[in-house]
Structure 1
């Protein structure tokens, strides 16, 4: 079974508090906190940001560098608030929303968050596919199709824990950074002109539009969900000093990681300015055009190769964090947990299908427009993530002494107002352009209704958390509910089943089974015959292996009866897990003991999983003896 409802309050429960931060060495303690922000930072340098950086650099040289810096400062502020929420309240943003807003509003917020994650993944799919095409010459449609294979990457990474995953992401970020460092060495930008780019200036309305695009594409809503969950992977002391230290260390982590992301974005803009703006090619905004012209204008084969490698690395790193964000959103809003590979596959297909349709119907030249559309979808959701976040970290009843100070609150709301305004302006311009090109009254009406609903929902997210009833409920929710375990009676099992494989592990299985029974318990010994004949003929099989297995089972039963233990044996055939579950049900067993093979990953696929499947198919206590 791959889907289950969870009532666990832990965000990313499989890695929750899995990283120890109380090492003996001071540096070991410090580095234990570093990691979450690097997973977040890849969202700030994903392929969705490249188009706006290229457009800004090719059209206006270095003049919009200050916009990137301002965007980075905004991102640092909002990500630090997200980390604060996770550290202090032990809640990610999705969980906090669920505890605050009415069910209908929560469901809408969940749907919008899923759309944002799908839009993010769409940008990553297109970016990776373009990178593969640029590097290998493979048609774009095949590149998009190949990206489905990285569904299994997250499955492999999660088996090795959060620290290994962070190491993998940091490696990819380092590849992106190193690639652009070499690019900058090749183009040799004029540093005095680069420095002037940090002086705020907007040359014209087109520059303003590009600046809005840069800011709108920088802060991504899924990163706010992600960061509030990732900081909870660190095991910290839950006293004031421990929480204060965690907030401080995560702020340092965020500062370093987001500044690295800023340097990558700045490098893309500087590269475009130094190569395209200087040569008069102010029309470059497509990633494919930039790659093609690098070779022509620089006369170097290395520059376009590094550009493509960086693009693939940026897209690949973002896919992992996008899936984690999807898991956080689904578990937080719906309390629904599904297998990571299934979650990844669903998210990836939601991105691949529209990409393939656009390429098939409209051709490769429309991919750039699809990339822009993905950023517009992200813009729609941003306000619904930022506004609740500021409400939560401002609330003294739930945050206590760690609620943000008035000055921080003022800056946070100013940033929110600016971002929401800029994103609404971007979306409005896209809507107006679309409506002016169509005469379909029905479609126009639907768009207007959707816009009205958007505004209403925005007002609800602003006003609802201010209600006194919510504040009282939320304050009560930070204390652990007092529960009583009542009278605890030791269970008495009357029919204990044990699954045996006639290996040395059988001794441990039998010993543990008998330990859970009493003098009145009957023990059912189960063995599954797996010969070719048994799989084909089932219970009618009479090959040598079936006869030998029956003899071995009879020997076990005789040994147990010699010790006055009531036992019987049952042979099963064909599929192990299903047969064990069937026999347990038919024999009306009330407890099951079986062995765990100890292998995982590829070996699970090769040899098959038994224990995990059986426990999902029976409704009695199951003891797995490793």
Structure 2
């Protein structure tokens, strides 16, 4: 029996708001210039973009650049374009219905289906958290010489940072995220300048190559890039945090909010494209071009940057950006975990408890793998976590596209036919790539 609740455009007056007291907590000016109103909506897109440049991306981008040169830039571009479309759909769902994606799944699907979707999403969050633990631990080792196992354990303390920020309000959370994103952007801007990649080769890399599909090793990394870029929990996150703005909850107010939210996320994701492309371009220019095609680990990249670029600053900037990336991802993953648990289960845990549970689950495999297989094992675990994320994408993308295509639920904000066709095409590409990877793995191709 289907648990379909009568939810529609505008939501229900008695429905529990997503994110509780943070819902509609950021004031939006009713009058004033377009730019002033736009500024009120700047923030959620940048929080979402964090997931598109977290430590998991670093591993897949470094491996892709060092092994295949600029070839996989086309995959990064494709992933980013897919992300822009999907995040716009997530924002549309939240603004049109007053529900986040987790709440929408809970109210639409039968209980067993909803429960499975919750489990899959939790697994995605754990895989993402795994990447953050590894990335932050590596950054602490590179900058301060802290052993990897101890660094992974220290990451559990970031719960206090999250609590402090959340108590200061949603704008404080956004300001922290944007400040660290600025650090990452500046670090990579300087590194790309130092690397001085050949412009023609870089531009050629943005054109699709048959090698991406025909070479199983390239496909494995390509799917890892998609998994690291288009992240399942980001769709749940965005559908919720766009509702933190206190826009008018009527038809004109929602349409205006959607325009500003899409501009915010599109601009922020273009920043993520620059960072991801920069990592791969740097790996291709510095490692692949010098014959170091075996570089797959973040630590290898750090050690080789200075001697190959001839600038001592290069490695330090790399590590600083990695630490900023890990800290930033911590904030958004915690928030996504809260949204998913409350949305699917209506279960509210204290912020500190939720954070310690998810971080604890992520720390254990990192410590075990490091102890058994050394630091090489954690590098493989990092890439594998991104492939796992990609395998879980259809379970978030398909419900999202289904909901935003439903006029009964979306009202005047239902997606037009061209966008519906494009959205289902993106879902089909994700499913096809995952099936290809699964078959190659099973058949040992």
Please give the range of the TM-score, normalised by the shorter of the 2 chains: over 0.9
> Are the counterparts in 2 of residues 216 and 419 from structure 1 also a CA contact under 8 Å?
no
Counterpart residue number, 1:347: 358
Distance apart, 1:58 and its partner CA: 1.4
Distance apart, 1:21 and its partner CA: 1.1
Counterpart residue number, 1:614: none
Structure 2 residue 243 is matched with structure 1 residue 232: yes
Distance apart, 1:212 and its partner CA: 2.9
Counterpart residue number, 2:17: 10
> Are the counterparts in 1 of residues 224 and 390 from structure 2 also a CA contact under 8 Å?
no
Counterpart residue number, 2:281: 270
Counterpart residue number, 2:121: 113
Counterpart residue number, 1:21: 28
Residues 537-591 of structure 1: CA deviation (Å, up to 9, x unaligned): xxxxxxxxxxxxxxxxxxxxxxxxxxxxxxxxxxxxxxxxxxxxxxxxxxxxxxx
Bigger helix fraction: 2
Distance apart, 1:23 and its partner CA: 5.0
Q: Write the distance in 2 (CA, Å) between the matches of 1:309 and 1:424.
A: 37
Q: Write the distance in 1 (CA, Å) between the matches of 2:69 and 2:391.
A: 29
Q: Write the distance in 2 (CA, Å) between the matches of 1:119 and 1:367.
A: 13
Counterpart residue number, 1:409: 420
Match of 1:363, SS?
helix
5 Å-filtered alignment, 1:483-522, equals none
| Matching residue within 147, 166, 169 for 1:161 | 169
Q: Write the distance in 1 (CA, Å) between the matches of 2:340 and 2:311.
A: 44
> Are the counterparts in 2 of residues 45 and 264 from structure 1 also a CA contact under 8 Å?
yes
> Are the counterparts in 2 of residues 213 and 426 from structure 1 also a CA contact under 8 Å?
no
5 Å-filtered alignment, 1:423-502, equals 423-431=434-442
Residues 494-551 of structure 1: CA deviation (Å, up to 9, x unaligned): xxxxxxxxxxxxxxxxxxxxxxxxxxxxxxxxxxxxxxxxxxxxxxxxxxxxxxxxxx
Query: RMSD of the alignment, in Å?
Result: 1.6
Gaps of 5+ in 2: 1-13
5 Å-filtered alignment, 1:115-134, equals 115-134=123-142
Structure 2 residue 56 is matched with structure 1 residue 48: yes
5 Å-filtered alignment, 1:278-289, equals 278-289=289-300
5 Å-filtered alignment, 1:194-593, equals 194-203=202-211, 205=215, 206-431=217-442
Residues 224-257 of structure 1: CA deviation (Å, up to 9, x unaligned): 0000000000111122221111111111001100
Counterpart residue number, 1:61: 69
Distance apart, 1:379 and its partner CA: 2.3
Bigger strand fraction: 1
> Are the counterparts in 2 of residues 33 and 249 from structure 1 also a CA contact under 8 Å?
yes
Q: Write the distance in 1 (CA, Å) between the matches of 2:106 and 2:433.
A: 27
When Rg is computed on C-alpha atoms for both structures, the one with the higher figure is: 1
Q: Write the distance in 1 (CA, Å) between the matches of 2:237 and 2:360.
A: 21
Larger RCO (alpha carbons 8 Å, 6+ apart): 2
> Are the counterparts in 2 of residues 216 and 422 from structure 1 also a CA contact under 8 Å?
no
> Are the counterparts in 2 of residues 46 and 124 from structure 1 also a CA contact under 8 Å?
yes
> Are the counterparts in 1 of residues 231 and 389 from structure 2 also a CA contact under 8 Å?
yes
Match of 2:348, SS?
strand
Q: Write the distance in 2 (CA, Å) between the matches of 1:303 and 1:219.
A: 28
Gaps of 5+ in 1: 1-6, 437-626
Distance apart, 1:431 and its partner CA: 5.0
| Matching residue within 25, 39, 43 for 1:35 | 43
After the TM superposition, which of the residue ranges 18-27 and 154-163 deviates more from structure 2?
18-27
> Are the counterparts in 2 of residues 85 and 93 from structure 1 also a CA contact under 8 Å?
yes
Distance apart, 1:415 and its partner CA: 0.5
Residues 81-119 of structure 1: CA deviation (Å, up to 9, x unaligned): 000000000000000000011111111111111111111
Structure 2 residue 86 is matched with structure 1 residue 102: no
> Are the counterparts in 2 of residues 148 and 345 from structure 1 also a CA contact under 8 Å?
yes
Counterpart residue number, 1:143: 151
Structure 2 residue 192 is matched with structure 1 residue 184: yes
Q: Write the distance in 1 (CA, Å) between the matches of 2:154 and 2:387.
A: 25
Counterpart residue number, 1:93: 101
Counterpart residue number, 2:6: none
Residues 206-233 of structure 1: CA deviation (Å, up to 9, x unaligned): 4344333322332110000000000000
> Are the counterparts in 1 of residues 58 and 298 from structure 2 also a CA contact under 8 Å?
yes
Paired residue total: 428
Q: Write the distance in 2 (CA, Å) between the matches of 1:147 and 1:361.
A: 20
> Are the counterparts in 1 of residues 219 and 437 from structure 2 also a CA contact under 8 Å?
no
Q: Write the distance in 2 (CA, Å) between the matches of 1:418 and 1:199.
A: 17
> Are the counterparts in 1 of residues 100 and 236 from structure 2 also a CA contact under 8 Å?
yes
